[in-house]
Amino acid sequence: MISIRNLKSGDWEAVCEIYAEGIATGQATLETSPPQWEVWDKSHTQDLRYVALNEHGEIVGWTALTPVSGRCVYAGVAEVSVYVGSRFRGQKIGDMLLKHLIRESESMGYWTLQAGIFAENLASMNLHIRNGFRLIGFRENIGKMNGVWRSVNLLERRSKVTGID
Q: What is the mean pLDDT of the chain?
A: 95
From 76, 67, 133, 69, select the one nearest 99 (Cα to Cα): 133
Is the pLDDT at 126 greater than 80? The verdict is yes
| pTM score | 0.94
What are the chain's domains? 3-158 (3.40.630.30)
pLDDT per residue over 88-106, tens digit each? 999 999 999 999 999 999 9
Give the integer Cα–Cα distance in Å for 96 and 39: 26
